[in-house]
């Protein structure tokens, strides 16, 4: 039975480059993850996607092994993170619940069916970009150009060039 959960904190003992890293989530309805390339934003999102068990068979069922698949370079052994959350089921309210996710040996714990139940949807760049961007062209792409030389067109091109540091 799905419950209402509120994430309080996710603490990364060790997951990829996130080591001894607490991420506090406040009571605002929206949280943004920002930072430089390679700082761990996607790692945080992948871990959070795997925290919950889906409420039904048609909902996405994210698993840690999908995002942290063993390779020759890393088996992910020793990786772990902890989630603190509150939960409401009907009139029952429980605070300060803690769930640890870890890979000590050959599998991640806890077992996937023991995760709290909640609908989760991870939306990545892949889902945000039109499919045509991922189709590889095998032939010559044919297109036509129209000369844009009105005063408005030239002003737009000039502004775009200054913003993007490129001549158009």
pLDDT tens, position by position, 68-127: 888 777 788 899 999 999 988 888 899 999 999 999 878 898 888 888 888 888 888 777
Closest listed residue to residue 1, CA positions, set 54, 64, 58: 54
Output the pLDDT for position 101.
94
Query: Looking at residues 30-36, what average pLDDT do you find?
Result: 86
Q: How far is 168 from 162, CA to CA, in rounded Å? A: 10
User: Is the per-residue pLDDT at 47 higher than 90?
Assistant: yes
Q: Please tell me the pTM assigned to this model.
A: 0.71
Stronger pLDDT, 28 or 58, i.e. the higher one = 58
User: Is the per-residue pLDDT at 2 higher than 90?
Assistant: no
Query: Looking at residues 24-52, what average pLDDT do you find?
Result: 88
Q: How far is 54 from 58, CA to CA, in rounded Å? A: 8
Stronger pLDDT, 165 or 55, i.e. the higher one = 55
Q: What percent of the chain lies above the pLDDT cut of 70?
A: 90
Q: How far is 92 from 5, CA to CA, in rounded Å? A: 12
Output the pLDDT for position 46.
93
Output the pLDDT for position 137.
56
pLDDT in tens, 112-139: 888 888 888 888 877 777 776 666 655 5
**22 contacts: CB under 8 Å, gap ≥ 6:** 9, 10, 11, 12
Output the pLDDT for position 147.
83
């Amino acid at each position: 039975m799905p419950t209402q959960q509120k994430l309080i904190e996710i603490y990364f003992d060790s997951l990829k480059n996130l080591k001894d890293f607490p991420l506090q989530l406040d009571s605002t309805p929206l949280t943004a993850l920002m930072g430089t390339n390679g700082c761990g934003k996607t790692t945080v999102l992948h871990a959070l996607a795997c925290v919950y068990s889906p409420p039904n068979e048609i909902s996405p069922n994210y698993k840690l092994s999908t995002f942290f698949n063993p390779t020759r370079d890393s088996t992910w052994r020793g990786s772990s993170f902890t989630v603190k959350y509150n939960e409401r089921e009907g009139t029952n309210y429980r605070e300060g619940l803690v769930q640890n996710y870890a890979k000590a040996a050959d599998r991640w714990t806890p077992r996937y069916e023991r995760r709290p139940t909640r609908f989760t949807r991870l939306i990545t760049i892949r889902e945000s970009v039109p499919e045509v961007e991922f189709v590889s062209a095998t032939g010559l792409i044919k297109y036509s150009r129209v000369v844009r030389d009105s005063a408005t067109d030239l002003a737009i091109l000039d502004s775009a060039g200054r913003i993007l540091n490129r001549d158009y």
